Structure 1
Amino acid sequence: MKTTKKLKKWSSAILSGLLLLGVSCSDEFLEVAPTDSLADAQVSTQPGIEGLLIGTYAALNGVFGNRFEGPNHWVTGSVMGGEANKGTDAGDYSAINPVQRYEIDPTSGDINFLWRGRYEGVSRANAVLATLANSTEIQPAVASRIAGEARMLRGHFYFDLKKHFGNIPVFDETLAAPEVVLVPNNGDAWAQIEADFQFAYDNLPAENGAGRVNKWAAAAYMGKAKLYQGKFAEAKTWFDDVIANGVTSNGLKYALLDDYAQIYNAENDNHAEVVMDVESANNTGSTANANYFDDLNYPYNTGPDGPGNCCGFFQPSFELANSFRTSGGLPLLDKSYNDAGNALANDYNVESDEPFTPDAGELDPRIDWSIGRRGIQYLDWIPHPGKAWIRSQPYAGPYSPKKYVYYKSQENSFTDGSSWTRGYATMNYTIIRYADVLLMAAEAEIEAGSLEQARTYTNMVRARAADPAYWVSNDGGATPAANYVITEYPASQFATQESAREAVRFERKLELSGEGHRFFDLVRWGVAAEELNDYLAYESTLLVTKFGGASFTGGKNEVYPIPQSQIDIQGPDVLVQNPNY
């Protein structure tokens, strides 16, 4: 049984135990407490507060079951970042259609769910802190650890809101209750986020057990927050600390896994690359504890020979697949990978029973850990058959997602088959992993002028991908499935800050593809309009109906609209809409 399931079970056990505390053998048994709530005295015990804390962890996975709430941000981070499109066909989950065209409206119910879900997480963290402040039963060391976890989680929820919506309301556990207090979205969110991460770093242990945040997760997240603000020297200090001293919550020294594919394998959860993750579990009575947010994101209608038996969403883009082209083992940083002579050969509009010759050119091996494409072994299922696994190639292209997909050997052990699809998988989603830390550290080093150190960190990531022992094979490991050629960057690529930035930014695209980071990276680099309009221009030559006439509007689309329903509730003088919506 997965260790990661324990937190979910603890939550039920704690709450059940608390409810039993209300039963008495005295003659006051006729005084029945409300059955749908717990008294303050019950919650303010250590088990009670731990139960509230576990409820806060649960909010990492989303609260209302809407897929925009998912921690992987496959729509708001990856689809909006141009590394994937919605997939499936035009009529399925059509609310995403305007999102992928950068035409999202403030009335979007999905965006409202994202807003509500993250603020529910903030509310739960605040409830932990407020209850803890009024408790007299908890030892100081335990109280510090609980407060550190709650503030770390609150910092995460606020960071997520900040990167999506820009100007957001910020409040802490001291907000008066039960009075209704309206908080405008003009607070200093970064100050609150940094304060939360600093407190977490100062008060959390280095090792805190599987599924819980520790001080090194706080340090990595603080470095990320500094990076987003352009505080590169400060970010470097935090990343240096993590790289030199950081350990996972299980006490493993942070390291890159030898086998890239094992990052996304449920049987290898809580590995040495996990800095902060979201835990999952199956067969708990609710598929919400599994990766419900990915239940649509498997090849379409694959039957017994493929995973999910469902929907065909989240299809990697042509542009992303082409990006894995190499020349002499190095990526084509000048974007010539989209040119006719370099674009990846694919089976677009080729029937599965028709002949197809896979691409024979040089490719980064990470393509076949990241993208399902015809003729290449798809985990332990079968070689991807092409169009037979795609719902509508003319609408969404020829590729399938491959990360965070379960293996055939894991059905009914690492999947929850209690609902309409087999696709509720139980691998943990990693919010921050060590490769991400190394590449963020490389960015900070570039801005500090330490170009050679930035090259070292970047090449650590490339060196892992270059080990042929772990390349995808169609015959059990003897022969690589494609012409994989990858080398480390030479010193000449890091001779100037401009060329070094170009390399590190592209490395993030390749290494972290499909993991929900791309859109937010483009925005913080200030290149979203240029990059995404180039993406649309190219993709629309192939998917004309979907992307024809679409454009990214600079000064608007860098952030999402404040949900109109929230403005209606609180008033436009409290919540001010983002510009140009």
Structure 2
Amino acid sequence: MKTFKFKKTSLLLGTLLLASMSCSDEFLQVAPTDSLADAQVSTKAGIDGLLIGTYSALNGVFGNRFEGPNHWATGSIVGGEANKGTDAGDYSSLNPIQRYEASPVDPNNDFNSLWRGRYEGISRANKVLSAIANSTELSAADAARLSGEARMLRGHFYFDLKKHFNNIVVFDETVPAEDLALLPNNGDAWTIIESDLQYAYDNLPGVNGAGRVNKWAAAALMGKAKLFQQKFGEAKTWFDDVIANGVTSNGIKYALLDDYSQIFNAENDNHAEVVFDVESSNNTGSVNNANWFDDLNYPYNTGPDGPGNCCGFFQPSFEMANSYRTGADGLPLLDGSYNSAANAVKNDYGVEADEPFVEDTDPLDPRIDHVIGRRGIPYLDWIEHPGKAWIRDQVYGGPYSPKKYIYYRSQENSFTDGSSWTRGYAIMNYTIIRFADVLLMAAEAEIEAPGGSLDTALEYVNRVRRRAANSEHWVKEYDSDDNAANYVISEYTSFPNADFARDAVRFERKLELGEEGHRFFDLVRWGVAAEELNAYLAYESTKLVTKFGGASFTTGKNEYFPIPQAQIDITGSDVLTQNPGY
């Protein structure tokens, strides 16, 4: 049974931190109160305990699903990869968010919880750094390593805030608590992010133990930070180092797994593709140490024949499914024709579960059936997806179910935690950065950087596609070696120019990283969010008329989410400034 001592410890210490030494819920406005004696946290064990509490904030602090590290709402749903799913009345505060009508007055406290949760992580990292600075019991080597971990985590929390809200409050461990409420949200976030990640890279070992960050995680995140700032030459340098020299925290050379599906299997956690992840466990006394943020994201009403038995959220979009259409040459349809009537993936929208349905027989990228649950296709080791029987409201959410980070029938009660209201608390680790992501970011840097190589970008993209083309690991019919669909995929023979290469890399990220929470942030940093998302809305509204009709993405506003009004009300608008358009 998979139960990590590391994560169990984080639960206990995380609870202690929240209760006794962390800042209050509105910690930017209320000074933190220490109740642990300095002697208790000045030892190596004490400081490591504080650090584990910082790690626990990766998984969320306040129990709101927007805090989860996978960004299924803000990255995938808002990025057009998925619909909210279920029905209109369930978690209705998500409805305006997916229509790009988010409000600073947040009825479900979603954005406020995300804001607070990430700053709680920063506060915990700062507490670790202060304790290290005040300790006389640490060796120089231990102080450097522990500081490196804390600063890597702080850099991640700031990065996450930056890509969501842009205008954020920035402070380090030297800022007195009483001054936090006076800090405006126009801080230089990139400077502290880069400083933290450079320190982490310089001071962390390559092998640091599974579940802990290492220097290569810091290097990959630094490359990503450079990419977000369009510093492509610098990003390339960092990615080159990671690809050539990087190893996981438990010492495995970075590599793509042979089997794409095993990236998301709890029995295969801490594998060669993990660059930076969030550890998960069960039987710890709290389901918050499992993937609690995914508890809604299972097919609806599955009973004993499917996972979770709740709740029908996070349904892949029509547009996302169509993206997996390939031509007879096995390449994606980069011209956008995948949404045409001739190429759209055949689905059972409007077909009752007991009515006959003929499956799609045209060429598809095999990753579609690792990412999207479709009628007639085996759903892991459960049953063939039965279609409408597992969909709460097809007219509202469409015909598809999510399939990544879903547990297997064989893992029920061993890799799940059934101690709460649903069976759907699974314990596969969520991977924040995986090696395929690094390869595709590196390919992007090769295309955009002065002196970059289109041939190298081609090599990286084809490495990812080559793994997907391994027919041994395509989805098969139950009790058969027959493929479950007409899978056709091939490598690119060349990138004839930068424009073609750019389109290919961006689309490959969509196919490879689909439903993993990256898409919206990619579209924004590429400067194509309005174009792509308004096209998505136009197409999706032809299917789900009542849901998306009249929705639109507004340039200059919807690239970032609103600063929570609850925070502005406490500090005053002279301190925290609302983002444009809200």
2:536 aligned partner: 535
1:38 aligned partner: 36
1:148-547 to 2 correspondences below 5 Å: 148-178=148-178, 181-327=181-327, 328-448=329-449, 449-491=452-494, 494-547=495-548
Q: Deviations over 1:217-240 (max 9, x none)?
A: 000000000000000000000000
CA distance in 2, matches of 1:529, 1:186: 25
One-letter code aligned to 1:337:
Y
Q: Check conservation: 2:213, 2:249, Cα contact below 8 A.
A: yes
TM-score scaled by length of structure 2: 0.95
1:577 aligned partner: 578
Q: Deviations over 1:398-431 (max 9, x none)?
A: 0000000000000110100000100000000000
Q: Deviations over 1:433-490 (max 9, x none)?
A: 0000000000000013410100000000000000100000113451100000000012
- Structure 1: which 5+ runs fail to align? 19-35
Which one of 68, 83, 88 corresponds to residue 85 of structure 1? 83
CA distance in 1, matches of 2:485, 2:397: 24
One-letter code aligned to 1:386:
G
TM-aligned CA deviation for residue 181 of structure 1: 4.3
CA distance in 2, matches of 1:86, 1:153: 30
TM-aligned CA deviation for residue 8 of structure 1: 2.3
Q: Check conservation: 1:307, 1:407, Cα contact below 8 A.
A: yes
1:25 aligned partner: none
Q: Check conservation: 1:352, 1:388, Cα contact below 8 A.
A: yes
CA distance in 2, matches of 1:293, 1:358: 32
CA distance in 2, matches of 1:47, 1:71: 27
TM-aligned CA deviation for residue 13 of structure 1: 7.5
What SS does the corresponding residue of 1:331 show, helix, strand or coil? Answer: coil
1:56 aligned partner: 54
One-letter code aligned to 2:171:
F
What SS does the corresponding residue of 1:309 show, helix, strand or coil? Answer: coil
One-letter code aligned to 2:470:
D
TM-aligned CA deviation for residue 15 of structure 1: 9.3
CA distance in 2, matches of 1:12, 1:57: 10
What SS does the corresponding residue of 1:49 show, helix, strand or coil? Answer: helix
What SS does the corresponding residue of 1:432 show, helix, strand or coil? Answer: strand
- Taking a change above 3 Å as real, the CA distance of residues 334 and 417 of structure 1, as seen in their structure-2 partners, is same
Q: Check conservation: 1:15, 1:48, Cα contact below 8 A.
A: no
CA distance in 1, matches of 2:466, 2:540: 31
- Taking a change above 3 Å as real, the CA distance of residues 119 and 44 of structure 1, as seen in their structure-2 partners, is same
CA distance in 2, matches of 1:229, 1:306: 43
CA distance in 2, matches of 1:223, 1:62: 24
CA distance in 1, matches of 2:512, 2:13: 40
The yes-or-no answer on 1:136 pairing with 2:136 is yes
CA distance in 1, matches of 2:326, 2:225: 32
TM-aligned CA deviation for residue 544 of structure 1: 0.2
One-letter code aligned to 1:155:
G
What SS does the corresponding residue of 1:276 show, helix, strand or coil? Answer: strand
2:28 aligned partner: none
CA distance in 2, matches of 1:348, 1:500: 35
- Taking a change above 3 Å as real, the CA distance of residues 503 and 295 of structure 1, as seen in their structure-2 partners, is same
What SS does the corresponding residue of 1:507 show, helix, strand or coil? Answer: helix
One-letter code aligned to 1:425:
A
Q: Check conservation: 1:14, 1:47, Cα contact below 8 A.
A: no
TM-aligned CA deviation for residue 573 of structure 1: 1.1
CA distance in 1, matches of 2:571, 2:439: 42
CA distance in 2, matches of 1:435, 1:233: 20
Q: Check conservation: 1:197, 1:219, Cα contact below 8 A.
A: yes
Q: Check conservation: 1:14, 1:48, Cα contact below 8 A.
A: no
CA distance in 2, matches of 1:390, 1:39: 54
2:29 aligned partner: none
What SS does the corresponding residue of 2:482 show, helix, strand or coil? Answer: coil
CA distance in 1, matches of 2:289, 2:39: 29
One-letter code aligned to 1:391:
R
1:566 aligned partner: 567
TM-aligned CA deviation for residue 37 of structure 1: 3.4
TM-aligned CA deviation for residue 570 of structure 1: 1.0
TM-aligned CA deviation for residue 123 of structure 1: 0.3
- Taking a change above 3 Å as real, the CA distance of residues 304 and 184 of structure 1, as seen in their structure-2 partners, is same
- Taking a change above 3 Å as real, the CA distance of residues 228 and 14 of structure 1, as seen in their structure-2 partners, is closer
TM-aligned CA deviation for residue 515 of structure 1: 0.2
2:69 aligned partner: 71
Q: Deviations over 1:192-238 (max 9, x none)?
A: 00000000000000000010000000000000000000000000000
Q: Check conservation: 2:158, 2:189, Cα contact below 8 A.
A: yes
- Taking a change above 3 Å as real, the CA distance of residues 16 and 298 of structure 1, as seen in their structure-2 partners, is closer
TM-aligned CA deviation for residue 11 of structure 1: 4.1
Over the aligned positions, Cα root-mean-square deviation in angstroms equals: 1.6
TM-aligned CA deviation for residue 83 of structure 1: 0.5
TM-aligned CA deviation for residue 535 of structure 1: 0.1
Q: Check conservation: 1:164, 1:559, Cα contact below 8 A.
A: yes
TM-aligned CA deviation for residue 179 of structure 1: 5.5
Q: Deviations over 1:277-331 (max 9, x none)?
A: 0011111111111100000000001000000011000000000000000001000
- Taking a change above 3 Å as real, the CA distance of residues 399 and 330 of structure 1, as seen in their structure-2 partners, is same
- Structure 2: which 5+ runs fail to align? 18-33
What SS does the corresponding residue of 1:299 show, helix, strand or coil? Answer: coil
Q: Check conservation: 1:298, 1:307, Cα contact below 8 A.
A: yes
Aligned length: 562
CA distance in 2, matches of 1:244, 1:540: 45
- Taking a change above 3 Å as real, the CA distance of residues 241 and 382 of structure 1, as seen in their structure-2 partners, is same
2:4 aligned partner: 5
The yes-or-no answer on 1:107 pairing with 2:105 is yes
CA distance in 2, matches of 1:254, 1:235: 18
CA distance in 2, matches of 1:202, 1:244: 17
What SS does the corresponding residue of 1:514 show, helix, strand or coil? Answer: coil
One-letter code aligned to 1:151:
R
2:23 aligned partner: none
Q: Check conservation: 2:208, 2:250, Cα contact below 8 A.
A: yes
What SS does the corresponding residue of 2:517 show, helix, strand or coil? Answer: coil
One-letter code aligned to 2:468:
A
TM-aligned CA deviation for residue 12 of structure 1: 6.4
Q: Check conservation: 2:13, 2:50, Cα contact below 8 A.
A: no
Moved over 6 A (4+): 12-18
CA distance in 2, matches of 1:436, 1:272: 13
TM-aligned CA deviation for residue 14 of structure 1: 7.3
CA distance in 2, matches of 1:434, 1:259: 14
One-letter code aligned to 2:379:
Y
Q: Check conservation: 1:155, 1:196, Cα contact below 8 A.
A: yes
